[in-house]
Amino acid sequence: MQSQPTVRIKFLTEFKELFNPAWRNLVYYGGRGSGKSRHVALSLVLRGRDTRLLILCTRELQNTIADSVHKLLSDIINEYEFADYEITEKVIRNTRTGTEFIFKGLRHNSTEIKSTEGIDIAWVEEAQSISEASLKVLVPTIRKPGSQLIYTFNRKEELDPVYVRYVRTERARTYVRKVNYDVLDRAGLFPDELREEMEADKAADYGLYAHVWLGEPVAQSDAAILGRDGVLGAMERDIEPEGAIEIGVDVARMGDDRTVFMKRKGLKVIDKRTYTKLRTTEVCDKLELFANYEKELLSDGGPNPDSVLLKIDDTGVGGGVTDEMIRRGYRVVAINFGAKATDPDKYPNLISEAWFYLASIIDTVDLEMDDEALGELTSRQWKMDSKGRRGVEGKADYKKRGNRSPDIADAIIMCFYNIQPGSFSRAEESSNEHRYKPQTAGLLNRRF
């Protein structure tokens, strides 16, 4: 058999999992100029030269072959002069391995796709447009042992079905990666022409820039507490970490809820940790390490009570964490989101006041760039109650709209919620235990 000529190919490490057969689902999403489609196409062309594969290239609507990735695949084959591929109007075949690429739209070809046997890989391009009904047809159709589904998309709405199914929901053997133009930029592969377009969009319409180039949804509810532009601005801001260290702690309660630690120094988030399925003592042990008290010890070996403030969600199982951290000698404020607001004329409860407080300072803070945090912070809604007060929607209602528990957002809210100086004083209850008691009525509730 004639050996294949050696070809030098540039392939970024961000996309290396496309060659890993262990994944059932591979999800790459983000904005324009990230190289998503090209890298998927290139990986499939290369894999098709090594092994015989039947590859379905699909999208929700495909009226003609011009609507498909046929041209992209053809361009790559021609660019690298892969002579072992035969390109016809409707099908691309590898003459040596027998690999075949077929192209079909999901909505109008569901019966034909369901009857297609032996599909090894299904690549869904523009997957933000795929409907829940089409997903229910496609996924069980790709059932050959070792088969894979690959999705590439730029989010259209907050709860696109493919985003909810694979990104918001943890799923076995699923690889998820958000990629934007900075992936190509770091590699020196981002074209100047696209950079000019990106900068123009950013200057003219930040919302358009966020959607096209950062992969964020187009629409946001008018009832959202925090605007996407404001949160994105906070995530792009870079300020000096100057001031006290405070940590927000949201403790998991059940199911897929997460325990989240969020640390800020001054107005800058400097660290974050996320855990699932931890016992109370495990949460406390990890929180103790996260607080870095081992670097700020007093001469007698005890923790410095003024070095860090822990603000812990005290409801439910969080109460056990509060009590244990106090027992260990740490400076703790217990937060009950259902407690009375400090300004009850404006807000029906503490959680509403805390959310709107973050909204009031969002243009001054520095948050880590994090897609989950962005989604949670910008999707929580509010409504006016019968007394004319602004109240955040309940967590149950939030989850009914298809969202998972907003654990990251809650940790950020607690991390930044303002505890006024002098509002708490230390009362020594034993030789090695301290508690912080509110002196301002209604500021925070603590169980004693």
Query: Angle at CA 214, nearest 5°, toward 128 and 158?
Result: 45
- Using an 8 Å Cβ cutoff, are 447 and 333 in contact? no
Distance of alpha carbon 382 from alpha carbon 352, whole angstroms: 8
pLDDT digits (tens, 9 = 90+) for 160-197: 899 989 998 889 999 999 999 999 999 999 999 999 99
Residue 156 region, left (φ>0) first, then alpha (ψ -120 to 50), else beta?
alpha
User: What does pTM read for this prediction?
Assistant: 0.66
- Using an 8 Å Cβ cutoff, are 305 and 293 in contact? no
Domain layout of the chain by residue ranges: 13-185, 228-438
| Residue partners of 305: CB distance under 8 A and separation at least 6 | 329, 330, 331, 426, 434
Distance of alpha carbon 276 from alpha carbon 257, whole angstroms: 7
Distance of alpha carbon 137 from alpha carbon 133, whole angstroms: 7
Q: Check whether 443 has a pLDDT greater than 50.
A: no
The CATH homologous superfamily of the domain defined by 13-185: P-loop containing nucleotide triphosphate hydrolases (3.40.50.300)
Distance of alpha carbon 11 from alpha carbon 184, whole angstroms: 11
Distance of alpha carbon 181 from alpha carbon 398, whole angstroms: 31
pLDDT digits (tens, 9 = 90+) for 290-336: 987 545 544 455 555 557 899 999 888 889 999 999 998 888 999 99
Beta strands in 95-165 (DSSP E): 100-105, 121-124, 148-153
Residue 76 has which token pair?
């790559």
Q: Which CATH number describes the domain made up of 228-438? A: 3.30.420.240
Residue 448 has which token pair?
């004693």
Distance of alpha carbon 37 from alpha carbon 18, whole angstroms: 12
In this predicted structure, what is the pLDDT of residue 273? Answer: 94
Residue type, 86: E
Identical fold, 13-185 and 228-438: no
Q: Which of 301, 358, 302 is nearest to 331 (CA)?
A: 302
For residue 396, what is the DSSP state? Answer: H
pLDDT digits (tens, 9 = 90+) for 164-173: 899 988 899 9
In this predicted structure, what is the pLDDT of residue 114? Answer: 76
